[in-house]
Amino acid sequence: MKRALVVWFVALAIGAVWMPAAGAATVSVEEYVNHVCTSIATFGDATDQASQTIQEKAGSLTKVPQVKKEFVAFFDSLHAAVTQLQSDLADAGTPQLAHGSAIAKQLRSGIDSIEKVVADARKSAAALKTSNPKQFTNKVTALGKKLNQAYAEIGSGFDGLPKKYDTSSLKAAQQADSECAVLNR
């Protein structure tokens, strides 16, 4: 996978910096945003590491079964990172603002969708046949395109939040937070 996948994950996560767990403790917007940005930064580091690892290893591999093994390991790493992000965000609590629960529900659904997409991609990668190198390469490419398309669709689901709800206090807290500043580069 290319770095674009990692960049996409981080960009999506930045768009979802205020995803609380349903029923979690209510915390200040600033505390919540800091916790979420820290979680997203950790997620970004994990996905960067997974991408770097597969790029380093895949270039030196000569046998398709070895490439498949690394491809599956990449998706295992991505899945672990997404599920850790879900857990970390659940620990963030709920920001104290109007419509916080509705915002939380919509955003949690988006992150849960990411987890499902990655889990499905991991399952598909594990099922790839390696007997025909050209067919394997074509299927890996198709899987990458499918994954990117699914991410784009999920990401577009977050676009309507600022139109539907007032998220200005979350955005202001994000812009003022030093941990979020790392993500905004």
The confidence score (pLDDT) of residue 69 equals 93
Residues of the chain with pLDDT under 50: 1-23
Write down the pLDDT at residue 166.
82
Asked whether the CA dihedral 166, 101, 118, 14 is positive or negative, the reply is positive
CB contact at 8 A, 68 and 125: yes
Q: Check if the beta carbon of residue 13 is closer than 8 Å to that of residue 44.
A: yes
Q: State the pLDDT at residue 9.
A: 39
Euclidean distance between CA atoms 50 and 161, whole angstroms: 30
| Residue 62: predicted pLDDT | 85
Q: What CA–CA distance (Å, rounded) separates 69 from 183? A: 31
